[in-house]
Structure 1
Amino acid sequence: MWTETVIIVRDPYQNRTKIKLKSRLLALDASFDTGLYQLRGLLARTLDTANSFMRRFTVTGWRYWLVQMLSGGLTLTVFGSIFALSLALSNFDLTEGGLPEQEDYAVTFLDRFGNEIGQRGILQDDSFELQDLPDHFIKAVLATEDRRFFEHFGIDFFGLTRAMIENARAGGVVQGGSTLTQQLAKNLFLTNERTLKRKIDEAFLSLWLEARLTKRQILKLYLDRAYMGGGTYGIAAAAKYYFGKSAKDINLAEAAMLAGLFKAPTNYAPHVNLPKARARAKEVLVNMVQGGFMTEGQIVGALRNPATPIDKTDSAIPNYFLDWAFEEVKLLAGGKHRVLTVKTSIDMTLQKQSEQAVERHLRDYGKQYGVSEAAAVLMEPDGAVIAIVGGRDYGKSQFNRATDAKRQPGSSFKPFVYTTAMMNGYTPKSVVPDAPITIGNWSPKNYGRSYSGPVTLTNALKRSINTIPVRLAQAIGRDKIVETAYKMGVKTELMITRSLPLGASEVTVMDMATGYAVFASGGKKAEAHAVLQMIDSKGRVIFDRKRDVKVEQVIPEKAIGYMNEMLVTVIEAGTGRRARLPGIKAAGKTGTTSAYKDAWFCGFTGNYSAAVWFGNDNSTPTRRLTGGNLPAMTWQAIMNSAHQQVALKPMPFVEDPVAFAKLHSPSQAAEGGRIKDLKANRGIQRLTPEVVVQLDKLSGLIRVPQSEPRVQPLRPSVDQNTGEKKPQIVSGLIPMQRPENSGLLDITKNWRNN
């Protein structure tokens, strides 16, 4: 047997290496300990030397406390500066792009004939140089806002201290500590919030402005960008708005009143509170004396003869229309264009007559029927709004009841139901049973709580039977009715409920006028609009409705023809008889909601569509007011005014009993003459001038317009600088064309075929 023997040979150098490494570590530790000991000794000796040196400056008593206060103050200053700097870091982002551009809109509106009717947005004018402004105005501003403006660097510590002392004496805030530069910084970059961070931001931005701009540039920018009340920005726009003159022509009293607006323009605006504005102007004049800018003798005249602003209560301004048109402008401009001239569709004559019609009926019958408000919209078949009456008095209530108030339309919504039925196989002669109907726990009733059995859709609409549209909605689907209403221009969201066919879902007056305009247009889309054309500050046409908007057919012509025939019967023999227009084919529908809270009449002719609503803002019931009463009467008054001296257009797909004839002999144009007498005069000579008359086939009589169709001339504007009158000509605007005499026939040629 073999035995295995293992011999282990150890490395003689291994232990020697470990011993050598251990010795080195011990030496390093000893050196480190020695170094620490020596450093400790050095620090001790240094501290003793420092203490020995500082003992020479040892103070006691009041000196000790002074040193402590200075030390604490220095510490607070350092840490406070670091904290303030951290808060102000966001301002570097604000100033990265330099001075901000003006982002507000400045829009001048014109009527359809090119006459200026008002403005919206801001009124801004920075065209004046600082040296063009009166010296007394600059002094009034500096005396009131910042007397040491040319002496400080953006933050006035002396002024701040003085303001704190004066406020402490008065027990309230009587003086502000912000410099003019700080106010400019706030106007350009910040909000009006009262926080510590905002004040710190204001201070840093003031320093940035002072470092970037000269004092004169800062003052000019302040006078151009400051809000002056009444929608105006800058001294030039304010002078024109309040006093109707150039800023360089304002006298001392006017300058004092304008300088007083910087503190609180809303409170001190002269068109809002003239006594308060004059009291503030007096304070400004006193400040000018106290600040050494003027003597008492120089301000006596201004004190005795305070400024009188021009009258700003012009009731002729169509404010409801302008508010609505301004929203449309902002949508069309898309934020790319801010200074605009806009030609609109409004006719100021019809606007005024519509307002008068609404006010007259409210004044004469409002108390009797317990109704306090009304609204109306008049538009052309394509949706061009001619007039908006948003309420009784814009000065008392700026709420636009024509565009913003959502009310139940009642039976005036039924034409959308019947239109949907006409698009789904029904005709005016279709028969549907008028009988009690129950859907779930809901049982709609007719107005007289009686039922007629089988009736045609024409009779059902004419008599405003409730059960028929409910049955139609069940048959064709409520969702289809909503789809039809949307196609016809209703913008308000409709709730698909069982009572939808009876007008339970709320809409606006504008919705209804737009929807009925589709009947007048022959089924073409009627988009409610005010803007015909927009021109930017450089004279470029950036929007033209005729050029940029395409018209599409949204309802089949056959359905429109059926509906127009049916809706004509409502006025001629139904619930809307008070809306009849003598000699003019008209169609429409009444609407009355439960508890008589809302009363409507909506209708149209070949020329216009209009919707009228009566009710109370708090939705309280009226005294049994129905749509066939005041609304129909008001609609008739508005439409009668609208059709004066215009060429009547036939209602689409409805035989019109009124034809037009162009007579070549004035002797033939006798008002009330008989049409049959014209038949014998087939050989009459052509004479001038030609006379256009209307031939009413129903009565057999001739109707003679009293004057030419209404075309308003441009009113001359007055140059604010020279006072000269000049015609208003705006580059790029489409000229308003005279109404076309569509449907005219030459009596000498075409009478035999008529």
Structure 2
Amino acid sequence: MSRTGKGKGPLRADRRYPASTATRKRSTAAKTGKSPAVKSSAKTAAKRVRKPARRTKRSGGGGFFGPIRALFRWILRLIWSIGWRVGAVLGVVVAGAVAFVYNTLPDATALIDGRARGSVTMMDDTGEVFAWRGDQFGGMITTDTVSPHLKNAIISTEDRRFYSHFGVSPRGVASAIRINLTEGRSALSGHGGSTITQQTAKLLCLGTPYDPSEWKSETEYEADCRRGSLARKIREAIYALAMEARYTKDEILTIYMNRAYLGAGARGFQAAAQRYFGKSAAEVNPAEAAMLAGLLVAPTRYAPTSNLERSQERASLIIGLMEQEDYLTAAEATQARNAPAQLSEAAEARAGGYFADWVMESVPSFLASETTEDVLIRTTFDSRLQRAAEGAMQTVFAEKVREGSKAQAAIVVMSADGAVRAMVGGRKTRVSGQFNRATQALRQTGSAFKPFIYAAALDLGYSPNSIVVDEPMTLNVPGSGPWSPQNYTRKFAGRVTLTEALADSLNIPAVKVSEAVGRDAVIAVATGFGISTKIDNVPAMALGTSETTLLQMTAAYAGILNGGSSVTPYGLTELKLLGDESALIGQDGGIGERVVSQSAARQLVWMMHEVIESGTGRRAKLDGRPAAGKTGTTSAARDAWFVGFTGEYVVGVWMGYDDNTPLTGTTGGGLPADIWRETMVRVNDGLPVTPLPMDPPSNGSDNRLAGGGSSDGQPSNGTSAPLEDFGNTGDRIVRDTERAITNVLKSLFGG
């Protein structure tokens, strides 16, 4: 068909869809001659058509990863929808728990001193404090009253963001978990990431007080408070949040500083500053503050009384943290490191040592180791005499004992009335809770027992000049057979006086005298003077085969010095509760009943004086000061003793090995006598010379004891009691009966 009109285009159908490109749109517009409004409408329509295509492309369209991404987004939406609801519920629960705890919290000052156990403070004979036991509380301190260095050291060490967090530090917890896992532990084992507020909550045991009826001990209670389980951590966090809402930051830090345990029985930084440095917590310098703060991580391990060097090394690390937090300048930190904190001399001595341990054992436990009150004990302790005894032992061991020797020694210094003035229970002196060889070690006494034998003879009327024959002898001991005692020298001296026999520590004369006066009489004298341990009633008893303690032996010799009366050793003179005027317990020892006559005691003192002047104790002789004493050496030299006195003090010395190894090259007249002399020189330094209460024997007395060849066998006082040979059993029975009747009459009528 041909064209019929000019200017008309070819005949064709309209497009079903608009052109998809800008060129086609422009072409169409040009051909049709549409207006701009129409063009704009066309553009808008084109955009509406293209939008679905772009959304389909973002959703991934088809392909392998599209469904996976869609599933992942669905899971996230599900978690979020559940999570925020659960979080909201937990938030309400936590808020409720915090509010509940908040309402149970008391005023901050009520939480300062939370000790379940009280303290024991011991004072010497002048009223000065020399020892502490139990949980010592030095008094309340606050963030305003302590040294700024101490406050800064605590924050640098334990919680440098303390003043900015809300009681729990998520960053600290995350860091602690990371460190624990790195070090091969479980997430909650080791570092806890606890803030000071959380640590305070733990010190308060989450508000659960100690109840003795529910716990075996306070130690078990505190261990339970320190448990690190997840449930416990959650409760701890809630309690910390409640504390942050209830108290100010300074109040929380104040509670923490007053309740933290810092070793050696010190509860709180005030008690610790007094315990270790002898000063208030307000006066500590940066080095001392760092040492105190360093105790928080492990108070027993880092206590300066336990290991000063280790404590100083820990303090050096704390100083570095203080410098890092700009609490110290570089110069101040260097100065603190170059002059580390030192344990004060007074604080070091306040461990109390063996004497304090002994006093604690003599007090009822509810007023001592288990007290819930603060107890004050006045004692007989003399710090000057204690230093004298410790110095004497250290000097002799340093100068006369081979290096590396494991030999031990013990010393007791006592007044004539039984008041214990000083006590050394072993070579390591500045300790507490250690084995006390002066009070706990049962050892054979050897010849140190012999004065009781001669005391019995003198009390029966015999004289220091009475004669006994030192010669070979054999006794038939029932159940054991023949027994032949020997002298230390394996020689025999023949006829000797009782004084010579004691001075030279002859064994055979001691056995003869014991058998002649009666073993029962000797045992009665020894027990009367305070030997409470079992004494075997056998002939060998005379040679000191029975065991006792150094304290009992020293007290027995004090009875000889005071004129023949028994003595009960004591260290406590008064016990009362802090704040009370009246005492609960008074002096529980002193001079008791008479054991032997004063005349017999004074003669025995003279005989023991001769031991030092011319006998086995010559090495103990003091220049210009009279003294009396007795040596003692047991079989195979397993124990060596020297016990004696001047007019002022009694001193007992024991030396030996804990495992009974024999001593090499020493007897009681050797190193123990040296220690005794060194002690006495220092103890009596500056004191006027006091004469000994002694009576030399009158001339012409020549009474014979068993085997001595006496014509009449009568004692010097003319008593009719016969002196027979130890083998005459019939006469022994008569004599023992007479003595028993005499003792009964004495006890009834005091004669």
Question: How much does 1:330 deviate?
Answer: 6.2
Match of 1:129 among 117, 121, 142: 142
Matched residue, 2:336? 306
Matched residue, 1:280? 317
- Select between 136-145 and 505-514 the one with higher mean Cα deviation: 136-145
Q: Residues 239 and 363 of structure 1: is their aligned pair in 2 closer, same or farther, counting only changes over 3 Å? A: closer
Matched residue, 1:571? 612
Question: How much does 1:610 deviate?
Answer: 1.5
Q: Residues 243 and 322 of structure 1: is their aligned pair in 2 closer, same or farther, counting only changes over 3 Å? A: closer
Question: How much does 1:589 deviate?
Answer: 1.3
Q: Residues 497 and 312 of structure 1: is their aligned pair in 2 closer, same or farther, counting only changes over 3 Å? A: farther
Q: How does 1:28-427 map to 2 (within 5 A)?
A: 101-110=115-124, 112-114=125-127, 117=130, 119-133=132-146, 137-138=150-151, 140-142=153-155, 144-146=157-159, 160-172=173-185, 175-178=191-194, 179-185=198-204, 189=210, 190-192=221-223, 214=247, 218-242=252-276, 245-250=279-284, 254-269=288-303, 271-282=308-319, 284-285=321-322, 294=325, 296=326, 300=330, 303-306=333-336, 308-312=339-343, 314=345, 322-329=353-360, 331-332=362-363, 335-336=366-367, 338-340=373-375, 342-367=377-402, 372-394=407-429, 400-420=436-456
Deviations 1:408-440 (A, max 9, x none): 221112223444555678765375775223421
Whether the aligned pair in 1 keeps the contact of 2:450 and 2:544 (CA below 8 Å) is yes
1:585 and 1:402 map into 2 onto residues whose CA distance is: 25
2:309 and 2:231 map into 1 onto residues whose CA distance is: 34
Matched residue, 1:590? 631
2:161 and 2:404 map into 1 onto residues whose CA distance is: 65
2:414 and 2:284 map into 1 onto residues whose CA distance is: 43
Q: Residues 581 and 166 of structure 1: is their aligned pair in 2 closer, same or farther, counting only changes over 3 Å? A: closer
User: Which amino acid in the other structure matches residue 336 of structure 2?
Assistant: P
Deviations 1:552-607 (A, max 9, x none): 22413255345334433433443223334455543321111222232221122332
Secondary structure (helix, strand or coil) at the match of 2:548 reads: coil
Matched residue, 2:651? 610
Question: How much does 1:551 deviate?
Answer: 3.6
Matched residue, 1:696? none
Secondary structure (helix, strand or coil) at the match of 1:599 reads: strand
1:136 and 1:357 map into 2 onto residues whose CA distance is: 41
Match of 1:437 among 455, 466, 475: 475
1:586 and 1:200 map into 2 onto residues whose CA distance is: 71
Tell me, which stretches of 5 or more residues in structure 2 are unaligned?
Answer: 1-70, 87-103, 105-109, 211-220, 699-751
Question: How much does 1:516 deviate?
Answer: 0.5
Secondary structure (helix, strand or coil) at the match of 2:566 reads: coil
User: Which amino acid in the other structure matches residue 376 of structure 1?
Assistant: I
Q: Residues 181 and 494 of structure 1: is their aligned pair in 2 closer, same or farther, counting only changes over 3 Å? A: farther
Tell me, which stretches of 5 or more residues in structure 1 are unaligned?
Answer: 1-58, 75-91, 658-754
Matched residue, 2:214? none
1:632 and 1:384 map into 2 onto residues whose CA distance is: 22
The question of 1:522 aligning with 2:563 is answered yes
1:321 and 1:613 map into 2 onto residues whose CA distance is: 21
Match of 1:462 among 497, 503, 509: 503
Whether the aligned pair in 1 keeps the contact of 2:131 and 2:352 (CA below 8 Å) is no
Deviations 1:700-728 (A, max 9, x none): xxxxxxxxxxxxxxxxxxxxxxxxxxxxx
Matched residue, 1:508? 549
Whether the aligned pair in 2 keeps the contact of 1:182 and 1:203 (CA below 8 Å) is no
The question of 1:639 aligning with 2:680 is answered yes
Question: How much does 1:175 deviate?
Answer: 2.3
Whether the aligned pair in 2 keeps the contact of 1:185 and 1:205 (CA below 8 Å) is no
2:398 and 2:147 map into 1 onto residues whose CA distance is: 50
1:198 and 1:500 map into 2 onto residues whose CA distance is: 63
Q: Residues 258 and 341 of structure 1: is their aligned pair in 2 closer, same or farther, counting only changes over 3 Å? A: same
2:130 and 2:570 map into 1 onto residues whose CA distance is: 17
Whether the aligned pair in 2 keeps the contact of 1:374 and 1:390 (CA below 8 Å) is yes
1:554 and 1:503 map into 2 onto residues whose CA distance is: 23
Matched residue, 1:47? none
Whether the aligned pair in 2 keeps the contact of 1:117 and 1:317 (CA below 8 Å) is no
Q: How does 1:660-671 map to 2 (within 5 A)?
A: none
User: Which amino acid in the other structure matches residue 511 of structure 1?
Assistant: Q
* Alignment TM-score, normalising by the size of structure 1: 0.62
Whether the aligned pair in 2 keeps the contact of 1:437 and 1:467 (CA below 8 Å) is no
Q: Residues 297 and 609 of structure 1: is their aligned pair in 2 closer, same or farther, counting only changes over 3 Å? A: closer
Matched residue, 1:26? none
Secondary structure (helix, strand or coil) at the match of 1:526 reads: strand
Deviations 1:55-75 (A, max 9, x none): xxxx99998xx99xx9xxx9x
- Select between 454-463 and 362-371 the one with higher mean Cα deviation: 362-371
2:252 and 2:534 map into 1 onto residues whose CA distance is: 50
Query: How many residues of Structure 1 are paired with residues of Structure 2 in the alignment?
Result: 567
User: Which amino acid in the other structure matches residue 176 of structure 2?
Assistant: A
2:549 and 2:121 map into 1 onto residues whose CA distance is: 26
Q: How does 1:13-24 map to 2 (within 5 A)?
A: none
Matched residue, 2:49? none
Secondary structure (helix, strand or coil) at the match of 1:504 reads: coil
Secondary structure (helix, strand or coil) at the match of 2:611 reads: helix
Deviations 1:383-429 (A, max 9, x none): 22333344445369965443444432211122234445556787653
Whether the aligned pair in 2 keeps the contact of 1:522 and 1:557 (CA below 8 Å) is yes
1:203 and 1:475 map into 2 onto residues whose CA distance is: 82
1:489 and 1:147 map into 2 onto residues whose CA distance is: 62
User: Which amino acid in the other structure matches residue 199 of structure 2?
Assistant: L
Matched residue, 1:447? 488
Question: How much does 1:373 deviate?
Answer: 4.1
Deviations 1:467-489 (A, max 9, x none): 44445666777676555434323
Q: Residues 420 and 543 of structure 1: is their aligned pair in 2 closer, same or farther, counting only changes over 3 Å? A: farther
Q: Residues 347 and 317 of structure 1: is their aligned pair in 2 closer, same or farther, counting only changes over 3 Å? A: farther
Whether the aligned pair in 2 keeps the contact of 1:533 and 1:541 (CA below 8 Å) is no
